[in-house]
Structures are given as structure tokens and as C-alpha cells.
Amino acid sequence: MITIEYLGENEDGKVCRQCGGKPVSVHTTRKKIFNRLWEVGKPQAVSLDEFELYMATGLFKKK
């Protein structure tokens, strides 16, 4: 299992970048992705197969 964290999205649907450890300009803080609900700041464990899918979206970082 690998732990990843959802970074959130701005109003344009682009991933929010981290600044000093805190996300900046976050508009979407909760989102259902691949039938799983994700929240900014609440990492979840995923399998290796899932890991590749989630990382391909560009909306996650490995913890």
C-alpha cells in the first residue's frame, strides 16, 4: 500500500500548488475520483495499481 494525498484544484480545474506547506488558491477541496471521495489534507492508502491511476491525474502527491 502507498499513501497519497489529494492536492485540491483551483477554479480552472488545475491542481493547486503547495506554498510553504499550505495549498494556495484552493477552490475544490473535496472530490470523488475513481469512485473514492478525497479531501485535501486527508491522505489515503492505495494499491500499487491504483497508485499509477491516481498519479496520472496530476492531482495527487505521494506522502
Query: For position 20, what pLDDT does the model report?
Result: 47
Q: How much is the average pLDDT of 14-38?
A: 77
CB 39 within 8 A of CB 60: no
Q: Quote the number of domains for the chain.
A: 1
Domain of 31, in residue numbers: 2-62
pLDDT band at 39 (very low <50, low <70, confident <90, very high): very high
pLDDT band at 23 (very low <50, low <70, confident <90, very high): low
Burial of 10 (0-12, 13-18, 19+ CB in 10 A): middle
Share the mean pLDDT of the chain. Answer: 86
